[in-house]
Amino acid sequence: MSVSLVGTVVKPIHPEGRKFIAIFIAVTLILWFVWEPLGVIATALTIWSYYFFRDPDRTVPMDDGLIVSPADGVVSLIGPAVPPVELGLGAEPLTRVSVFMSVFDCHVNRAPVAGEVTAVAYRPGKFFSAELDKASEENERNGMVLTMDDGTRLGVVQIAGLVARRILCEVDQGARLARGDRFGLIRFGSRLDVYLPEGTAPRVSVGQVMTSGESILAILGDARPATSRVE
C-alpha cells in the first residue's frame, strides 16, 4: 500500500464546511483587489478554514472490546465524574476521559464503540474554555449514549468551547453505529468527554495526542491503569 503526496495534503471536506469555505474564498478575492496584504492574510485564513473542516478517512482498529477516541486532540482531563443527568447513566461517578480539540485539529467526531444510540440530549449553556473542568457542567453540550450488544452503555458528550458556537450531531436515537463511524462535528475549538463503563480503566494519559477513530482510549472490562513515560 502506498500513500500519495497529493493524498497527504488534499483531504475530503465535511459538508458543514462548504459554505464557510465558499465565503472565505469570496472575501479573499475581494480583498486581493482592495489591498494585496489583506489578500495574503485572507488566503491564509481560507487555507485554515479548508483544513479545519477536513474529514479524512481513518483506519479503525477492529479488535473486540476496543474503545477509540471520538476526537482528534489532546487528552486534557482524566478522572471520576458524574455523567450529565440527561443521559440517564446514573448518579455514581464514572471515569471520564476528556479530549480537547484546538482550532487546528480535525473537528469531525466519531463513535468510540459500536452500538445503538439509545439517548441523544442537547443542553444549552455557557462558552467557557473547553479545557476547564467546569466546562463539562456549564457549557453548551450534546450528549449521546451508545448501548453495545451486551447491554453495556457508554456516554460521549460534545462540549462547546470558548470559540465554538455550534454543535452538530448527525444521528438520532435508534440509529446504529459501527466503531469509528462519523456522528457529528463541533465548530471552532471544543472538547469531547467519554464516560467509560464501570470496571474499565483508560489506557491513555493526560497530554497524550489522540486521532479520532484510531487511537485506543480503553479496553472494555480492562481495569488496569495506563502506564506511560515522556521522552
The three three-digit cell numbers of residue 169, written as one number? 450531531
Q: Do 118 and 210 lie in a common domain?
A: yes
Q: Do 214 and 107 lie in a common domain?
A: yes
Domain of residue 10, residue span: 5-52
Cα–Cα distance measured from residue 218 to residue 225, given in angstroms and rounded to the nearest whole number: 10
Number of Cβ within 10 Å of residue 122's Cβ equals 14
Whether 61 maps to a domain, the answer reads: no
Cα–Cα distance measured from residue 212 to residue 105, given in angstroms and rounded to the nearest whole number: 10
Instruction: Clarify whether 190 is annotated catalytic.
Output: yes
Q: Do 110 and 212 lie in a common domain?
A: yes
Q: Do 21 and 92 lie in a common domain?
A: no
Whether 203 maps to a domain, the answer reads: yes
Catalytic one of 190, 205, 212, 228: 190
For residue 4, pLDDT over 70 is answered with no
Q: Do 157 and 115 lie in a common domain?
A: yes
Whether 226 maps to a domain, the answer reads: no
Whether 24 maps to a domain, the answer reads: yes
Q: Do 90 and 184 lie in a common domain?
A: yes
CA-closest candidate to residue 21, choices 12, 34, 9, 8: 12
Q: Are 190 and 125 in contact (CB under 8 A)?
A: no
* pTM greater than 0.75 (yes/no): yes
The alpha carbon of 128 is separated from its chain's Cα centroid by a whole number of angstroms, namely 17
| pLDDT the model gives residue 23 | 84
pLDDT-above-70 percentage for the chain: 89
